[in-house]
Amino acid sequence: MQDMKSYLLLMRVLVTVTVMTGNPTRGFAQPEMETGGQKMPDEWIDKDTRHRVIKLTRLPGSNLSFYFHNNPFVGNKMVFYNTTQKEADSTQKIEISNAGTRDRQIYMVDLNTLKAEQLTYHSSPMNGEMVSAKTKEVFFQVKDSVFSVNTDTKKETLVYVFPADFKAGITCVNADGTLLAGVKSSDEEKELFKKYPAKSSYFNIIYEAKLPRTLFTIDIRNKTLNKIHSDSAWLNHVQFSAARPNLLMFCHEGPWHKVNRIWTIDVDTKEITQIHHRIMDMEIAGHEWSSADGEIIWYDLQQPRSVNFFVEGHHLNTGKKTKYQLQRNEWSIHFNSNKDNTLFCGDGGDPGQVAKAPDGRWIYLFTPEGDKFISEKLVNMKNHKYNLEPNVHFSPDENWVIFRANFEGETNVYAVEVKQSK
């Protein structure tokens, strides 16, 4: 009897062993099966790629990971949203900013144990995807108030309340956790968004309106707001450098072939720099992000649009460009890079996207080789509806690519192992 108890205890330990360390137990075979189109187990092997997939979020309701350039990690824990509200209309594009916010709360999942913890308990809608790994704080906004919650102590703090004459929204936190940044739009623009809620309707309308927007920062330490730049352009995609606390990146939003999109501003000196200059008609560049060391700004580049596809990096210190070509089917809505820029990942796209790719619905791993990407398919996404953008991230140990998907009929966050299963 004692031997049986010891055996059962050992089996329990093996079943609950760490799953995201890069050396998970192989003692329990996962089923090999098609990804999606059915209710999936918690772990499986994608039959088309032979890569292992794990469901990271196992809470009822919809679970949403962060936008691709927003860091969700504190150590080996990942911050995400859970909402009990029904999914939005499947014909509409879903991002955190326009997904239903009722009953949405911030959670954190331990990538070793998959234990999830709730961090917020607000009855009013909230927004924000801001995590400071340095200070272990998650920032979010409810109406005109900005809060933080500490991931260790779970203590919530009121950070800032916007004044009546400057109602705005925060979008990012800087590398050392001392500044928040965001953009203020006009009341006229807000009315246009209400009138035309679908991106297919508002995208050109907001661009053509040329309404004023103002970039600002909030000093978390002394609770002061600083207006740093205003323009009659659609200032958007606001993000701090991953390593340079004073460098803020933003874009001129609108149809990509009509705008000079990618810009930076030094929040201290107010010096503004255009990062990419078009060299041909119909060239587009966008969905930019900062390298982990803050030295490179990477972006999707097409020369011209929908014809030749690249990921290009602009080196901030030298102005040098690093450029990798990829094939039409490999183009992705969003790309991302690992810590030393030796691996990239992409979330693919359906035939309705800009690349018009006939076979682009995959999660990809890319390895630079010369001036090209060598691709590997990680997950077959044919059962995923791309109105929900997968938004890929490398896990902190870089052994997994994390993404969100609706291929089970509900939205969850998943991780696919970079190493192929044997």
Q: Which of 132-136, 178-182, 195-199, 209-213 shows the lowest per-residue confidence on average (mean pLDDT)?
A: 195-199
**Helix or strand (DSSP H, E) at 200:** helix 199-209
Position 28 scores a pLDDT of: 61
CA-to-CA separations, 413 to 55, 257, 258, 345, 405, in angstroms, rounded: 6, 32, 34, 16, 6
pLDDT, average across residues 314-336: 98
Position 102 scores a pLDDT of: 61
Query: How large is the greatest C-alpha to C-alpha distance in the chain, in angstroms?
Result: 78
Helices (H) and strands (E) in the chain, counts: 3, 31
> Could you tell me the pLDDT band of residue 42, with boundaries at 50, 70 and 90?
very high
| Model pTM score | 0.90
What span, in angstroms and rounded, lies between the C-alpha atoms of 323 and 372?
Answer: 8
> Could you tell me the pLDDT band of residue 421, with boundaries at 50, 70 and 90?
confident
Q: Say if residue 100's pLDDT is above 60.
A: no
Position 200 scores a pLDDT of: 82
- Would you tell me how many other CB atoms lie within 10 Å of the CB of residue 236? 16
DSSP label of 29: P
Angle between helices 187-195 and 199-209 (to 10 degrees): 150
Q: In what order do the strands lie in the sheet with 32-33?
A: 32-33, 43-46, 52-55, 412-417, 400-405, 393-394
What span, in angstroms and rounded, lies between the C-alpha atoms of 172 and 92?
Answer: 25
Which domains are assigned to the chain? 47-417 (2.130.10.10)
Q: Scanning the structure block, which residue is given the tokens 């958007």?
A: 236
Q: Say if residue 17's pLDDT is above 80.
A: no
Q: Which of 108-122, 198-212, 372-386 shows the lowest per-residue confidence on average (mean pLDDT)?
A: 198-212
Position 199 scores a pLDDT of: 85
Nearest to 413 by CA among 125, 54, 88: 54
Q: Return the CA Rg of the chain.
A: 22
* Average model confidence (pLDDT) across the chain: 91
CA-to-CA separations, 387 to 87, 126, 355, in angstroms, rounded: 11, 22, 15
> Could you tell me the pLDDT band of residue 198, with boundaries at 50, 70 and 90?
confident
Q: Are 419 and 399 in contact (CB under 8 A)?
A: yes
Q: Are 148 and 137 in contact (CB under 8 A)?
A: yes
